[in-house]
Structure 1
């Protein structure tokens, strides 16, 4: 059974997007740090803590400068706010083991799409055996806040049972660009596998992290093929796909060019 690690900071979505968009114009790490602290609606000590996490999760530094990565380019230059938010969520998951485990368990049905606070505490307790109850409570609070802020779950109160209820949003429909970026990121940056088999592509972690079922998964793959981001090959019993862009950077530039047309 996967061990869940404690979580201590949520992701202030709008402020994080604003701070990351700033890097389009300013790459000096100290200027970015100061700007992030300025836009955070928290105390100075809390803002510093969130800024540290921002640098750990989303940024790459070289010689005192923030590298303008394909992730930052995509997030900053695409117009769709939904895509910005979804891409930020995807990279947050990629950088956060606890989110990966929880989302995979929801996807596989190991954690119901409707669960109570008591059920979630029990779930976390089974996977955080080396941590104190206070750490489990904090993780529960941060985890559910992140999922709510990114519209993955809604939270309701049951006054009769005096219980908090978490409901997974069954109408999640990430944009085509979100799914395309996430798949390219997974297979180029994480898996280093640019010619996956049909089985490997269909079992991509991207679909699990974004809670995309097999029906919608097929629609997204067809869109990728139709728009020449992916090619399908069949040789006898062997089926495989090939990503058509040479790099994640090339993919982002092609997406932006298509969006501008």
Structure 2
């Protein structure tokens, strides 16, 4: 059964819709949303409502740091992040905020552990951006209380890049840069960790949305890049009081 993995949507309606349509066409039968549904983008309520509808049908949804921020007191900061949180909170209904607040930090689905950031300290929002940090996350996923010995795969987001790590014969984790659209064999006799990238805020110099599909039965993982209406997403941000920088970075893939 194919599982669509989507993370870091960041209130980007256009990118989410494009990725969901792409996943449906690719035969995805289930969905997992790995956090940061909101923040930065112009359509937090729309995105949360869509994900809530998938959750009602059995989709897995994990909490990200921006989801947590949207449920907490804002404070008096003046940073770009503070501006995003304050505006986002105003757009969300009480039910939408309650949904975000109740989301778990991790979930186990078959032989996969799903997390927004790092499995060894999910509430610390550590960026898994090199083999050493990937090893900490992967090790934690096979140990209680976070995971168990049956976990062979860790899927997360947070870093806004697509990278696959695998544990080689010497025990070291090796990074691998995937080619979009090309299925990668991920046999269960190894341990794997993937950062699946960002649906709504790519930051690798390309503007296409990112997500992945995991086929556990076939033991394959396919990373995808999906074109979407970037000008419309940027224009939607500029039509709000949000900082224009959030629109600029969509157009630059940064």
TM-score interval w.r.t. the shorter chain? Answer: under 0.3
TM-score with structure 2 setting the length: 0.27
